């Protein structure tokens, strides 16, 4: 399969869409990113990497970080996590408060913000220096020691993240946050501000295409069972309110972020990261979504 040729064709096909989406502006530091950016990277379990466009440019990974924190926590505390977080699609916006009240402070899944805050709370409980340890985990997965946080994005979100602050305090009121809400929010904003390229992300998600083991260096990131579960959660809860649409049009487990990145995994074969900052009305990268749809169309690959 000539992945290089395929992704170059996709980049051309989606170019008319680049100015059609809306760059996320509720985090002021993200509002200035150029909507014309577009990159794709494909990493295969055989160790190959194919890239096109702005695939080496770093961007704010935002909710993609929730996959890394989940992998860390599942590996450390295993099934105990599910006493505090569910694993069903929420059918509500990712930052919604109402469902949390109906369901007595147990978030529906680890990829909505409330669930991710509980996961971050676990990271703080399990790690002496959570920000350093998370950065170390991500660097190891990506095989890149230069990955870091963008302090200006973290600060910008801290200054404007009233809804996340409300969620954190709400969780605390139900006894489902053990640390101080301010501390949890600080670590959460930092994880969202990790700055990575498509190339880093495709490489970093490769363990999920290979049963939990990094196929390039043999490092066991998580067990087979955990990898299967993370992929299942990405499939059902990874694309905000468009999980069904993503399964229908793309047919791979994936996770998106409001920075315009989407990463998808073809178990046994590859992971693919796309970046285009213009979002659709559901908050997913407009051109990125289409690019992944074309990828599974042109390659005839899908988990179904």
Distance, in Å, from the CA atom of 88 to the CA atom of 163, rounded to the nearest integer, reads 22
Q: Work out the end-to-end distance of the chain between its first and last CA atoms, rounded to an integer number of angstroms.
A: 19
Helices 113-126 and 65-77: crossing angle, nearest 10°?
50
Collapsed DSSP state (helix, strand, coil) of residue 22: strand
Report, in Å, the least distance between residue 9 CB and ligand GLU.
28
Q: Which residue do the tokens 């930092």 mark?
A: 190
Q: Is residue 187 among the annotated active site residues?
A: no
CA distances to 17, 21, 104, 132 from 279, in Å: 10, 5, 32, 30
Pick the closer one to ligand GLU by CB: 127 or 156.
156
Pick the closer one to ligand GLU by CB: 24 or 74.
24
Q: Is residue 256 among the annotated active site residues?
A: no
Report, in Å, the least distance between residue 6 CB and ligand GLU.
27
Q: Is residue 240 among the annotated active site residues?
A: yes
Q: Which residue do the tokens 């059918």 mark?
A: 91
Q: Is residue 285 among the annotated active site residues?
A: no
Q: Is residue 3 among the annotated active site residues?
A: no
> Which DSSP category does 268 fall into?
T
Helices 130-142 and 65-77: crossing angle, nearest 10°?
110
Given the residues 37, 42, 60, 63, select the one marked as catalytic: 63
Pick the closer one to ligand GLU by CB: 164 or 231.
164
32, 35, 39, 40: CA torsion to nearest 10: 120
> Which DSSP category does 260 fall into?
S
* Binding residues for ligand GLU (CB under 6 A): 62-63, 94-95, 113, 157, 164, 192, 257-258
**H-assigned helices in the chain:** 3-14, 65-77, 98-102, 113-126, 130-142, 151-160, 162-173, 181-192, 198-204, 206-209, 224-237, 243-249, 286-299
Collapsed DSSP state (helix, strand, coil) of residue 4: helix
Pick the closer one to ligand GLU by CB: 39 or 161.
161
| Contact status, residue 157 vs residue 31, Cβ threshold 8 Å | no
Given the residues 3, 149, 188, 189, select the one marked as catalytic: 188
Report, in Å, the least distance between residue 220 CB and ligand GLU.
28
Pick the closer one to ligand GLU by CB: 63 or 179.
63
Pick the closer one to ligand GLU by CB: 95 or 99.
95
| Active site (catalytic) residues | 63, 66, 188, 240, 258
């Amino acid at each position: 399969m000539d992945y290089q040729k395929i992704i170059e064709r996709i980049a051309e096909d989606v170019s008319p869409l680049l100015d059609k989406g809306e760059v996320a502006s509720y985090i002021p530091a993200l509002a200035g990113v150029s909507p014309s950016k577009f990159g794709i990277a494909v990493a295969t379990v055989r160790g190959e990497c194919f890239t096109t466009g702005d695939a080496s440019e770093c961007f704010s990974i935002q909710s993609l970080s929730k996959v890394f924190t989940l992998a860390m926590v599942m590996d450390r505390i295993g099934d105990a996590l599910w006493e505090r977080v569910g694993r069903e699609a929420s059918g509500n916006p990712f930052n919604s408060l109402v469902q949390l009240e109906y369901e007595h402070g147990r978030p529906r899944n680890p990829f909505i913000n409330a669930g991710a805050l509980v996961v971050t709370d676990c990271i703080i409980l399990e790690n002496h220096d959570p920000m350093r340890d998370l950065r170390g985990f991500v660097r190891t997965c990506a095989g890149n020691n230069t990955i870091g946080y963008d302090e200006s994005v973290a600060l910008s979100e801290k200054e404007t993240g009233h809804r996340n602050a409300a969620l954190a305090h709400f969780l605390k009121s139900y006894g489902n946050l053990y640390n101080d809400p301010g501390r949890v929010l600080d670590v959460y904003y930092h994880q969202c501000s990790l700055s990575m390229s498509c190339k880093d992300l495709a490489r970093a998600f490769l363990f999920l295409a290979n049963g939990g083991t990094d196929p390039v260096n043999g490092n066991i990131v998580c067990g087979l069972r955990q990898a299967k579960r993370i992929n299942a959660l990405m499939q059902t809860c990874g694309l905000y309110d468009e999980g069904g649409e993503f399964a229908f049009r793309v047919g791979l487990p994936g996770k998106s972020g409001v920075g315009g990145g989407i990463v998808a995994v073809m178990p046994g074969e590859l992971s693919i990261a796309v970046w285009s900052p213009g979002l659709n009305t559901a908050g997913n990268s407009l051109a990125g979504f289409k690019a992944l749809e074309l990828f599974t169309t042109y390659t005839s690959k899908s988990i179904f």
